[in-house]
């Protein structure tokens, strides 16, 4: 195949359709595949009826309302032969007629394909009403040419594109039959794939990563996880109270820089050195504590990740209050007795990914 002749000086996001049927898009630095071209076929042009008020006499061969029309009933409207470019594509037929009468009655519109009744609509009209009837069908017909035939019938005299024997809207009230092949146009590029779902701890490691935390009411952790029990972790022989196993090394390395994660006797030169020395490191404390985001909030004190601060008030607190006295009078001091407050709380277990 000959080399592709891309346009000169394209703008970002410009599209170019190559002779190979592939559409390319300019990113600003190179042409990338955008999609492919598929045949786009709308089939035969719409068929319109522009005649003056077309009288539809009462036809004795129009059946009762719950019986399909025969192809010999009523009067013919449109006949078209249509062949799809791709027999696997769906064919769409849209029938729409406008009609009216001088007295009350029932009008019917039927679609036949290859001589077989396919779809039909029935509408009841009052005296001198003007309205429309629609029939819509879509389906796959297979290869070759197919004949589409539309007929209408009534139990009284009706008029196409008019009412009471006269045309309306100056001939612009057009009754139509439209046949289309529902084909594919341009197939665009595949969208960006979303991230895979995250499996829970019981379902395996999933996409959880070292240092992730979940809250649960289960007291026992799944494999690959430990309970955050304010204990320590380390290698085998380290004496880690939460877990002493080689699989804790990723967490050991993550927590080693945290000021709030301590090692008995102090931290050595590096995480690797302390790990080799079989030291245990404390994991961040979570039990009976509320947590917040690390860093410095606007107007607030900066907090380090892994820190655990504060103390619990378990009894009454004595608070001294000073105040200014009246003009010319002495200032005062009052000892106030204040009780600790209970904050609404809920307690769960926290599990930590190794």
DSSP states along 167-220: E-GGGT--EEEEEEEE---EE-PPPPPPPPPPPPGGG-STT--TT-EEEES-SS
Nearest to 150 by CA among 123, 124, 117: 117
Please tell me the predicted confidence (pLDDT) of residue 57: 58
Locate 36 and state its tokens: 């492919």
Domains, the chain: 10-36 (no CATH), 47-187 (2.60.120.1340), 204-282 (no CATH)
Regarding predicted confidence, which is higher, 238 or 130?
Answer: 238
CA atoms of 207 and 143, how far apart (whole Å):
50
Please tell me the predicted confidence (pLDDT) of residue 124: 84
Q: How confident is the model at residue 239 (pLDDT cuts 50, 70, 90)?
A: very high
How much is the pTM? 0.43
CA atoms of 346 and 354, how far apart (whole Å):
25
In the chain, % of residues over pLDDT 90:
30
Q: How confident is the model at residue 193 (pLDDT cuts 50, 70, 90)?
A: low
Please tell me the predicted confidence (pLDDT) of residue 330: 58
**Mean pLDDT over all residues of the chain?**
79
C-beta of residue 226 within 8 angstroms of C-beta of residue 233 = yes
Q: How confident is the model at residue 42 (pLDDT cuts 50, 70, 90)?
A: very low
Q: How confident is the model at residue 157 (pLDDT cuts 50, 70, 90)?
A: confident
Please tell me the predicted confidence (pLDDT) of residue 333: 52
Using the predicted structure, report yes or no on whether residue 47 has a pLDDT greater than 70. Answer: no
CA atoms of 109 and 20, how far apart (whole Å):
46
Express each pLDDT in 110-141 by its tens digit: 999 999 999 999 888 777 677 889 999 999 99
Non-local CB neighbours of 323 within 8 Å, separated by 6+ positions: 331, 332, 333, 334
Q: How confident is the model at residue 41 (pLDDT cuts 50, 70, 90)?
A: very low
Across 20-34, 90-104, 131-145, 166-180, the highest mean pLDDT is recorded for 131-145
């Amino acid at each position: 195949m000959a080399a592709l002749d891309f346009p000169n000086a394209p703008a970002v996001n410009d599209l170019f359709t190559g002779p190979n049927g592939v559409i390319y898009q300019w990113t600003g630095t190179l042409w990338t595949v955008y999609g492919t071209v598929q045949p786009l076929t709308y089939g035969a042009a719409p068929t319109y009826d522009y005649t003056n008020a077309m009288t539809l006499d009462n036809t004795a061969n129009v059946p009762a309302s719950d019986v399909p029309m025969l192809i010999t009933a009523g009067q013919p409207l449109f006949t078209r032969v249509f062949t799809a470019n791709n027999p696997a594509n769906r064919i769409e037929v849209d029938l729409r007629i406008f009609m009216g009468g001088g007295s009350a009655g029932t009008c019917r519109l039927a679609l036949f394909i290859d001589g077989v009744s396919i779809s039909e609509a029935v509408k009841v009209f009052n005296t001198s009403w003007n309205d429309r009837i629609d029939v819509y069908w879509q389906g796959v017909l297979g290869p070759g040419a197919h004949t589409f035939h539309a007929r209408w019938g009534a139990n009284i005299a009706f008029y196409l594109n008019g009412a009471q024997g006269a045309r309306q809207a100056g001939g612009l009230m057009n009754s139509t039959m439209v046949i289309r092949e529902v084909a594919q146009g341009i197939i665009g590029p595949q969208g960006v794939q979303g991230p895979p779902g995250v499996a829970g701890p019981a379902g395996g490691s999933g996409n959880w990563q070292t240092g992730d935390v979940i809250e649960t009411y289960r007291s026992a952790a799944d494999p690959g996880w430990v309970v955050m029990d304010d204990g320590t972790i380390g290698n085998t022989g380290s004496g880690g109270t939460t877990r002493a196993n080689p699989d804790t090394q990723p967490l050991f390395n993550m927590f080693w820089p945290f000021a709030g994660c301590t090692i008995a006797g102090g931290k050595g030169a590096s995480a690797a050195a302390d790990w080799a020395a079989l030291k245990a490191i404390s994991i961040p404390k979570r039990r009976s504590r509320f947590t917040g985001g690390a860093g410095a909030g606007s107007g607030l004190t900066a907090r380090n990740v892994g820190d655990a601060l504060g103390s619990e008030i378990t009894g009454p607190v004595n608070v001294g209050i000073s105040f200014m006295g009246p003009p010319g009078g002495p200032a005062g001091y009052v000892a106030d007795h204040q009780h600790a407050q209970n904050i609404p709380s809920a307690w769960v277990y926290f599990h930590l990914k190794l």
